[in-house]
DNA sequence: TTTTAATCGAGACGGTACGTCCTGTCTTTCT
DNA sequence: AGAAAGACAGGACGTACCGTCTCGATTAAAA
């Protein structure tokens, strides 16, 4: 194969430090409890960056915010392997709820979801983020199915929705916190639900 | 004894027609699919009303939107009475999902929840709205408990959270529609949860 | 002629106290040095009067302001009679400059003239007020002409304009105060001017 | 030695075309006979400019209007040099009255003076404008003094005040136009005043 | 004495302008 | 070519004011 399509890319290369600063500042500003709205000018100023540098790499404000959110809220929830569905769910939901229950993360998630309702780019990124988290949880359930812990007619997507539904609903309305006990109780209820057969 | 709460109230009285027009227009504009954001100027113009008339009665744009939303989304979901928890839940969730699944209502709910994340007044009104809907569903569960259909240690709040959690989660992320089958399956799962004792 | 078009005018009569309060408050507010604009709401509130009571009797804000101004600034400048033009002018201009030089009056005049540039009613009332003051001064000059103190070809209108021109110019631009010495010097210059014949 | 006042000034530079458009539009709108008040929104729209671009460079509406006025009304009145005070005054006042008597200019002057009564910034700019015009006329008088045409005790400021006083007084009240004959007669009267000694 | 009509204080209303803020683009200079 | 600085067009925000329109209460002449 001779076709070397490598383009030399003349000119200055993207400044990775700026990218980091922008995303870090975005998370920090999004996480503020005071209702001061997060603006591009604020982000640029706090990151010591020109506005154009932001718009060169992201299509809109929402896109920046959502990428910042996804970075923070998506990673480092380990995929558990306790051997039982209930154990796996308990561990996973506890870790997930703990993370989402942190004040900073919760605020970031709240405002990101709000942004996703207005900004098309943010909407798509939220879709991708949510899809990725769902896939992880579905993976846990799929493993349990392979172990025979799950009824063949169980609606796994609904179970995933129940888990993340409780999480987002509480974060967005703030009517109750996300506690460890809630995670455990929910884990038990959902594993029971997954095991139940449809025939009454 | 007639309660003499007579207040003299000198001066012109609030124009009820204007109030209606404002809320109606707000819902109509909120429900538009095109992502043109709903503006106070737009509402005022479309309702044939001065901006000050809006700000005289509502503290912020979000407050208007939330009141309009609550009026539309809260009412006319009947409280069922089939005699069984599962039947009641099925009926209630089916009606609720159907309503929330309507394109107009869903759009209104989405943007209302987004607004509630930025606007303090909207936030409080969303809290009240969500609380009222939860109370209705809790009432259904409480009646079932009186009939002995519910385990004494069941966490009713968590059950309510799952029901509305699934609803909001799907509306906000749009990853799946709210179908009748979903409502029924969820009704069955939740009634089973409620009935289950902790000691398996 | 039998047509008695007298309409008896049943109903409540105009409240003279309210009229006085409105005009007094208008002068007081107009005379404030702080640049807070004088509004109808402010006048009404300070006079303890409803806005409609103002608009029932005056066609616009400017009309109220101008009437208030005219009341204050027009009266009680006595028409002098010293026997000579120079003496009359000195007395009249000194009294006029003293009155117009008072801080309160000056501020009222300034803002009235400004109002007269925007408000049609105010404009007409200013025209009438200015005309009346000019007539008084022209009267002084006419008397002097009857005494033979004035050249036949003197332009009395121009002399009047010079006198009031200096007054308004200084009030409006504030570049110099209106002092007694100015009045006297101007009186002398203008009486000389009136006496001079055109043929050099 | 070249003064090295080099300031790097990074960033986009002020758009001179926008500045011109704003001032031109301001004059044009100020000069309209219909009494529609001149609005910042109107100026911005007619100049094809965002409102912020106006407020970035001028502190208030009045400041824009006054700068536009000063540009139009101040320039191109030549300083005469006929050799005699009377000739100089005649030429200067005739040119000045002609310019101020133009319908457009008169309207602009009227509304500018009105604005200067309410707006602090406009007030200061009016002060500067008036001062500059006075200085020019004082220059004419000073030259005549050097030629020995003026009495040592003449009050030159009062003479200047009479000239501009008549101008503004007529423009603002509109009780008489500014004609060439008025200018000439005033020129003669004022030159006589300047020449007269106090002790006749 | 009752009726009728006009005025009053209070205050909501439609409309318009204000001056601020924010978005996403464009321009300039430097690296 | 990328970056910081910052001006730009556009447009929404929430406030202020104008002049009009109720509302219930008051006051005076007419019936």
- Least Cα distance to A31 among A99, A112, A85, A93 occurs for A112
pLDDT value, residue D7: 52
Which range is least confidently modeled, A6-10, A115-119, D111-115, D186-190?
A6-10
- B131 contact residues in A (CB cutoff 8 A): 175
Mark residue D82 as left, alpha or beta (left: phi above 0; alpha: psi -120 to 50; beta: remaining).
alpha
* Angle made by CA atoms B98, B102, B103, in degrees to the nearest 5: 160
pLDDT digits (tens, 9 = 90+) for A9-50: 445 566 788 899 999 999 999 988 888 899 999 999 999 999
Distances (CA, A) of B190 to A55, A160, B96, B154: 47, 14, 15, 11
B131 touches chain A (CB under 8 A): yes
What would the DSSP string read from start to end of D139-196?
Answer: HHHHHHHHTT-S-TT--HHHHHHHHHHHHHHHHHH-SS---HHHHHHHHHHHHHHHH-
Question: Integer distance in angstroms from CA D123 to C1' E12?
Answer: 37
Higher pLDDT, C7 or B165: B165
Torsion of CA C113, C119, C125, C126, to 10 degrees: 20
pLDDT digits (tens, 9 = 90+) for C95-151: 999 999 999 999 999 999 999 999 999 999 999 999 999 999 999 999 999 999 999
What would the DSSP string read from start to end of C122-144?
Answer: HHHHHHHHHHHHHHHHHHHHHHH
Spatial neighbors of B200 by CB under 8 A, at least 6 apart, are A192
Q: D70-195: CATH homologous superfamily? A: Tetracycline Repressor, domain 2 (1.10.357.10)
The residue-averaged pLDDT of B76-80 equals 92
CATH 3.40.1280.10 fits C16-60, yes or no: no
Q: Which nucleotide is nearest to D59 (CA to C1')?
A: E19
Against chain C, the chains showing at least 3 CB pairs within 8 Å are: D
Q: Write out the CATH class of domain D16-59.
A: mainly alpha
Radius of gyration (C-alpha) of chain D in whole angstroms: 20
* Residue B133 · residue B125 · CB < 8 Å: no
pLDDT digits (tens, 9 = 90+) for B101-113: 999 999 999 999 9
pLDDT value, residue A112: 97
The residue-averaged pLDDT of A90-103 equals 96
pLDDT value, residue D200: 46
* Residue D125 · residue D63 · CB < 8 Å: yes
pLDDT digits (tens, 9 = 90+) for D129-138: 999 999 999 9
Q: Are A169 and B170 inside 8 Å of each other by CB?
A: no
Question: What's A149's DSSP letter?
Answer: -
Distance CA C142, CA C149 (A): 10
Measure CB to CB from residue C130 to each of D127, D134, D173 and give the nearest one. D173
For the domain with range A16-61, which CATH number is right: 1.10.579.10, 1.20.1070.10, 3.50.50.60, 1.10.10.60? 1.10.10.60
Q: Are B158 and A186 inside 8 Å of each other by CB?
A: yes
Interface of B with A in 37-66 (CB under 8 A): 37
Q: Do domains B16-59 and B70-195 have the same CATH topology?
A: no
The residue-averaged pLDDT of D134-151 equals 96
* In the predicted structure, residue B75 carries a pLDDT above the cut 80: no
| Percentage helix, strand, coil for chain A under 3-state DSSP, each rounded to 5 | 70, 0, 30
* In the predicted structure, residue D194 carries a pLDDT above the cut 80: yes
pLDDT digits (tens, 9 = 90+) for A113-143: 999 999 999 999 999 999 999 999 999 999 9
Q: Per residue of chain C (200 residues), what is the pLDDT tens digit?
A: 333 344 567 888 899 999 999 999 999 999 998 888 999 999 999 999 999 999 999 999 999 999 999 998 877 899 999 999 999 999 999 999 999 999 999 999 999 999 999 999 999 999 999 999 999 999 999 999 999 999 999 999 999 999 999 999 999 999 999 999 999 999 999 999 999 865 44
* In the predicted structure, residue A63 carries a pLDDT above the cut 70: yes
Q: Which nucleotide is nearest to C37 (CA to C1')?
A: F17
Chain B residues 30 to 69 with C-beta below 7 Å from nucleic strand E: 44, 48-53, 56-57
Q: A71-195: CATH homologous superfamily? A: Tetracycline Repressor, domain 2 (1.10.357.10)
State the residue for tokens 């005309």: C131
Domain ranges (residues) in chain A: 16-61, 71-195
B156 touches chain A (CB under 8 A): no
The residue-averaged pLDDT of B40-59 equals 97
Average pLDDT across chain A, whole number:
90
């Amino acid at each position: 194969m001779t076709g070397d399509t490598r383009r030399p890319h003349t000119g200055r290369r993207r400044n990775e430090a700026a990218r980091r600063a922008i995303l870090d500042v975005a998370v920090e500003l999004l996480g503020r409890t005071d209702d001061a709205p997060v603006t591009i000018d604020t982000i640029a100023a706090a990151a010591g960056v020109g506005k154009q540098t932001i718009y060169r790499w992201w299509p809109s404000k929402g896109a920046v915010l959502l990428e910042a959110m996804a970075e923070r809220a998506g990673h480092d929830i380990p995929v558990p392997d306790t051997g039982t569905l209930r154990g796996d769910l308990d561990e996973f939901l506890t870790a997930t709820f703990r993370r989402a229950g942190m004040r900073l993360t919760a605020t970031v998630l709240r405002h990101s979801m709000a942004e996703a309702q207005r900004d098309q780019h943010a909407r798509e990124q939220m879709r991708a983020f949510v899809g990725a988290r769902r896939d992880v949880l579905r993976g846990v359930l799929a493993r349990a199915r392979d172990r025979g812990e799950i009824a063949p007619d169980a609606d796994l997507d609904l179970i995933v929705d129940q888990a993340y539904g409780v999480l987002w609903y509480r974060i967005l309305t703030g009517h109750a916190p996300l506690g460890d006990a809630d995670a455990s109780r929910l884990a038990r209820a959902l594993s029971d639900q997954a095991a139940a057969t449809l025939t009454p």
